[in-house]
Structure 1
Amino acid sequence: MLRYVLDEQDVAAVRFGISPLCELGLSLRAVHAPEWFPLQLPWVRRTEASRADLDHAALDALIDDRMWTPDFLNPRPSSPLTRLDDELAALRDLPADRFHADLVAVHGRVPDALAGPPRAAIGRMVAALEELWAASFAPYWSRMRAVLEADVVHRGRQIAQQGLGAMLNGLTATVDFDGDVLRVRLRDPRDRTQAIVGTGLTLVPTMFTRRASAPVGDGPPMLMYPARGQGALWEAERVANPAALAGILGDTRASLLAALGDPASSTELGVRFGVTPSAVNQHLRALRDAGLLSSARHGRSVLYLRSELGSALLEGALPAS
C-alpha cells in the first residue's frame, strides 16, 4: 500500500501531465507480457516485425518479472505537452549513481547489459529507447497522445462538475481518496506513506498500466493510471460520407476526404481507417492529383488537408437541410 498524504495546499496543487518517455518505458510491460494488456495486443502485433532488430538485451534490462521499471524511465512531466526529445536529453545526463541505484531498486543489481562504464551504458540505453520509439511509437503517437489528452480533459471536467475527490476516486478501483490521504493499492508488498509537503501530486494517464503505478522509490509524488478510451484506440474509424460522393470516389476515398477537414499524415490515416500504408498513399495521391486535397511537409511527415475544391464537392454532395 502506498499512501500520499495531502494537506489543503497539496490538494490545490494536484495536476496532470503526459510523458512520452513514461509511456515508452511502461510499454515494455506489454512487450514483455502481452497477455496482461489485451487492449494493446493490436499494437504489439503491428509493431512485432519492426521491433525484431532492436537492442533487446538493453531493453530487457529495464524491466523485471514483476513489471517494475526504474524510476528514471518515469520522469514527472513538467507540463501536459512534454516533448520526448527533452526527456531523452535529461536521461542522457542522468547521474551515474542515480542510474545504478534505480536499476538496483528494480533488479537487486545492475543487469549485465547495462554494467560497465556508466556513461557508455546510459548511451546504449538511450539509443535502444530511441530505436524502440521509432519502430513502435512514432507512427502511432499522434493517436495515442489524443487518447491521453482526451482523458486529461475528461478528468478536468470531472473536477469542475463533481470535485477533486470524485475524480480521484474514479481513476481506478485500486485508488481511493478520503480528503486527506490518497491510498494506492500496488503489487509492491511494501507499506509506504509519503507526505506531499508542497511538492504537488502529478497524475499521468497511460495505456500501459492495468491498475495504478507509482515510482518504485520515494521520488516526486506521481501516480500513473489507466487512460480511458483505450478500447477504441485500434478500431478502424468509420467516417460518415455522402452516398453520392462515395458513388463517385469510392467509400475509402470519400471517407478520407470527409475526414481531412483537419490535417493528418498518411500514417495516421492508415491507422485510423484500417488501411495499409501503401493503399492509403495511393488514395491520397489520387485525391491530391484531382485537386481535392493539398499537402505540405511538416518535419518528417507530409500532412494532407482538404482543399477548397474538395470542400465544395463534399458540401455539394450533402443533402439539403
Structure 2
Amino acid sequence: MLTIGFSAYDLAVMRFAFSPMQEIVASVRVLKDPAAHALHVPWVNRVAPRVAAAAGAFDLLFALVPVPSWYIPDFVTPPPTTPVPDLETELADLRRTAPERVRADLDRLATLRDPARPSAPVARDVQVRTDNAELRALRADPKAGLGRLAAQMSDYWELAVSEHWPRLRSLLEGDVVHRARRLADGGPAALFADLAPSVSWRDDRLSIAHPRFVGHRQLDGEGLLLVPSAFVWPTVFSSTLPPWQPTLTYPARGVATLWERRATAAAPALERVIGRSRTRLLLELEAPASTTELAFRTGLTPGAVSQHLGLLRSAGLVGAARSGRLVLYFRTEASAVLLTGVRV
C-alpha cells in the first residue's frame, strides 16, 4: 500500500494533465501483455501485425517497458509540464534528460525487476528482443541513447497511436472535465471516490493498493499531478520518487467504449418528445464528449450532431466546456432527470 499525505496547499495546487508519451509507454505494456488488457484487444489485433513487420525497430523502447514489472524508468514517463502537451515537446524534453538521471533510473530498473515471475506472453505476431545490450548502450552514452529512444517513440506513435489520437484525446479531455466538476462539487472525496478501485481517500490521505509496494510520501507543496490514460487500464501508475512531481496516472472514465460502437438503450417516451437523434445523444453523454466522438458513436454526421447539440443546449439539457481546442458536451441536471429510469 502506498499512501500520499496532503496539506491544504497541496490540494490547492493539485492539477490535471495528460501525456502522449505516457500513452505510448502504457500501450507498449498492452501489446506485451494483451491478456491483462482485454478492453484493448481490438486495438491489439489492428496494431500487432504492424509492429511485427517493423522487425525490431522498437527494441530500446520495449526493453524500457518490462512486463511483468512494477517499475518503468521515470525518465520514460516524466510528468507533463503543461495540461495538453504535444508529443514533439515531450520528446524534446526527453532528449534533454540529464545523463545521471538516466543512469540512476536504469540502475533502479535492474534492481527492481521481478525474476521470480515468468515473462508475460507477447501479443500475437509481435517479436520483441529485450536484449540488455540496448540498456547497456543507453547507460554508456545516455545522450545518444535518448536520441534513439525519441526516434523510436516517434515512429511507434505514427505506426500504432496517431490515427487513434483524436478519439483518445477526446476521451482524456472528457475525463478531465468530469473530474474537475467532481472536485468542484464535492472536493477531494468526490474526486477520488471512483478514480480507480485501488485508490481511496480518507483523512487527507490518498491510498493506492500496489501489490508489491509499501510506503508513504508526504507532499510538501508540490501538489499531485493527475493524469488520465486510456492504455493504463485496468491498473494505475504512480510516481513519487524525487525529483519528479508526484504523479498518479489512472484509467480515463469511459475507456470501455473506446474501440467499439455500443448498442445504446432506447427511451421511446423521450424520443417522442425530443426526437430519436437528440435522445441518442443524451444517452451517449454518460461522459463528456466532443462532436467528433459523438458522430463516431452514433453514425450521425458531425454537422447533424452539432445542430442537435445546439438545440439541446438552448433547452438547458446539455452544457459545454472548452478544454484546449476541443469543446466537450455534457449532460445537465435537467437531462439527468429526464433520463431517470433509463438503462444505459
Alignment TM-score > 0.5, same fold: yes
Distance 2:41 2:240 in 1: 26
The residue number in structure 2 matching 1:4 is 4
Go from structure 1 to structure 2 and tell me whether the alpha carbon gap of 1:68 and 1:133 turns closer, same or farther (over 3 Å shift).
same
Q: Is the Cα–Cα contact under 8 Å of residues 17 and 203 in structure 1 kept in the other structure?
A: yes
The residue number in structure 1 matching 2:26 is 26
The residue number in structure 2 matching 1:186 is 210
3-state SS in 2 of match to 1:224: strand
Where do 5+ consecutive residues of structure 1 fail to align?
242-251, 264-321
Distance 1:257 1:43 in 2: 23
Could you tell me which of 79, 84, 87 is aligned with 1:84? 87
Give deviations 1:88-127, integer Å, cap 9, x for gaps: 0010111111112112222339932132322221111111
The residue number in structure 2 matching 1:153 is 177
Could you tell me which of 239, 251, 255 is aligned with 1:215? 239
- Normalised TM-score (structure 1): 0.71
Go from structure 1 to structure 2 and tell me whether the alpha carbon gap of 1:215 and 1:111 turns closer, same or farther (over 3 Å shift).
farther
Q: Is the Cα–Cα contact under 8 Å of residues 3 and 193 in structure 1 kept in the other structure?
A: yes
Could you tell me which of 219, 223, 230 is aligned with 2:255? 230
Distance 1:74 1:56 in 2: 16
3-state SS in 2 of match to 1:205: strand
Residues 131-280 of structure 1: matches in 2 within 5 Å? Answer: 131-187=155-211, 189-209=212-232, 210-215=234-239, 217-218=241-242, 219-236=244-261, 258-260=301-303
Identity of aligned residues (%): 32
- Normalised TM-score (structure 2): 0.67
Q: Is the Cα–Cα contact under 8 Å of residues 188 and 201 in structure 2 kept in the other structure?
A: no
Distance 2:238 2:106 in 1: 16
3-state SS in 1 of match to 2:35: helix
Give deviations 1:120-167, integer Å, cap 9, x for gaps: 211111111111101011111010011111111111111222222121
Distance 1:262 1:92 in 2: 42
Q: Is the Cα–Cα contact under 8 Å of residues 174 and 184 in structure 1 kept in the other structure?
A: yes
- Cα drift, residue 171 of structure 1: 0.6
Structure showing greater radius of gyration is 1
Residue 68 (1) aligns with residue 63 (2):
no
* Count of aligned pairs: 251
- Cα drift, residue 197 of structure 1: 0.8
Where do 5+ consecutive residues of structure 2 fail to align?
114-130, 265-275, 278-294, 307-344
Q: CA RMSD in A?
A: 2.6
Distance 2:28 2:239 in 1: 16
Q: AA paired with 2:12?
A: A
Distance 2:45 2:107 in 1: 31
Worse overlay, 109-118 or 38-47? 109-118
Distance 1:216 1:94 in 2: 18
